[in-house]
Amino acid sequence: MPDDLAEIYRTTYHALVRFLYRKVWDAERAADLAQEAFARALVHRPANPRGWLFVVAANLARDEGRRRLRERRHLTLLKAEPAATGEHGEPEEAIDLEARRARVRAALEELTPRDREVLLLWDAGLPYEEIAAQTGLAPGAVGTTLARARRRLVEAYEVGSEETHVARG
Amino acid sequence: MSHVDEGTLHAYLDGALPPAERSQVDAHLASCPECRERLAEARALIARADALLALALPAERAAPPLHELRRRPLWWRVRWPIAWAASITLAVGLGWMLRGREALDRRATSDGPATRAGES
């Protein structure tokens, strides 16, 4: 059994970090939460570790989101928004990458929570059956949901790009 | 077979269709240029969405050894039992204190009759 979890750790750790990163948008925090999910799995020894890990990770990210929202409310009272990137002489390419990442994030946030969850779980490598089990969708509905999520992601990203260009021009 | 819907096309491209359904789709695609075109569109959409998601990747750092996580979460494992034990201790302690005081009170009020009983 422990070997089983060790194997899942080897194959799934980075996918879990990636999944969490798209929820908390902080690489360090995503790694912390992923490690915490595995630490809990070591204690609980779930029957289906991979599915269990993603459920726990999603819950941890949600708690984290709530906590951060509270913190931000306090912080905005104390200080202004940090300066936008690009004012500290970073190379053009890094700014561009950062801007595109921000647009992907904004586009993801335009999806419905369920569409987003299905897309992120698929991208983390979960098969349709596990995505269905985890989101409460009928297995036959995963493809339809993914199709819609992908289309909306691309559309929202492109609308976001146009807006940025208009604002710049 | 009627035209293949978009969800099925995505499941087909994701390799998620059961074999029987997969061969049905294959058969239909072989004879339907319209669905082949939609298949190409779906493939392009998947590639585009994957490329966008790939822009939002965390810097990949090596995973710490699993056994280190086992050591680290000791306080995770004990924090709820400790919180639980602490609240029980508090409750019992409080109850004991209150009962002690109540007993004192009772002794104070029952002092009178007890002395009287001793007198007779």
Report pLDDT for A75. Answer: 66
- Contacts of B73 by beta carbon, 8 Å cutoff, 6+ apart: A36, A39, A40, A42, A43
Tell me what pLDDT residue B71 has: 62
Residue A50 tokens, joined: 């991979």
Band (A125; pLDDT cuts 50, 70, 90) = very high
Q: How far is the alpha carbon of B104 from chain A, nearest alpha carbon, in Å? A: 47
User: Could you say which of A18, A49, A82 is where a domain stops?
Assistant: A82
Nearest Cα neighbor of A43 from B65, B71, B63 is B71
Domain boundary among A82, A106, A141: A82
* A62 and A32 housed in the same domain: yes
Q: At what angle are helices A2-24 and A113-123 packed, to 10 degrees?
A: 130
Residue to mutate among B53, B70, B79, with most A CBs inside 10 A, is B53
Q: A75 with A110, same domain? A: no
Chain B closest-CA separation from residue A149 CA (Å): 9
Could you give the number of structural domains in chain A? 2
Q: Specify whether the CB–CB gap between A16 and A124 falls below 8 A.
A: yes
Q: Which domain holds residue A75?
A: 1-82
Domain co-membership, A105 together with A71: no
Mean pLDDT of A132-138: 95
Q: Which residues contact B41 (CB under 8 A, 6 or more apart)?
A: none
Using the Cα atoms of residue A23, residue A24, residue A28 and residue A31 in order, give the sign of their dihedral.
negative
Which pLDDT belongs to residue B118?
A: 44
pLDDT band at A169 (very low <50, low <70, confident <90, very high): low
Least confident of A163-167, B3-7, B36-40, B111-115: B111-115
Instruction: Report the CATH number that the domain containing residue A118 is assigned in CATH.
Output: 1.10.10.10
- Which of B15, B4, B7 lies closest to B37, judged by CA? B4
Say yes or no: A95 and A157 in one domain: yes
pLDDT score of A127: 95
In chain B, the residue whose alpha carbon lies closest to the alpha carbon of A106 is B56
Is it the case that residue A1 has pLDDT exceeding 70? no
- A142 close to B (CB below 8 A): yes
Residue A82 pLDDT class (50, 70, 90 cuts) = very low
Please tell me whether residues A143 and A169 are part of one structural domain.
yes
A12-26, B34-48, B54-68, B94-108: which has the minimum mean pLDDT?
B94-108
The answer to whether residues A103 and A77 belong to one domain is no
ipTM over 0.95: no
Instruction: Using the CB atoms, write b or e for A43-70: b if 16+ within 10 Å.
Output: eeeeeebbbbbbebbbebbeebeeeeee
Q: A49, A82, A115: which is the final residue of a domain?
A: A82
One domain, residues A10 and A74: yes
Q: Verify that A4 and A51 share a domain, yes or no.
A: yes
pLDDT above 80: residue B7: yes
- Model confidence at A161, pLDDT cuts 50, 70, 90, reads confident
Nearest Cα to A53, choosing from A18, A28, A104, A105? A18
Q: Is the pLDDT of residue A91 over 90?
A: no
* Residues A65 and A103 placed together within one structural domain of the fold: no
Contact B70, A42 (CB under 8 A): yes
Q: Which residues contact A111 (CB under 8 A, 6 or more apart)?
A: A119, A149, A152, A153, A156
**pLDDT tier for residue A85 given thresholds of 50, 70 and 90:** very low
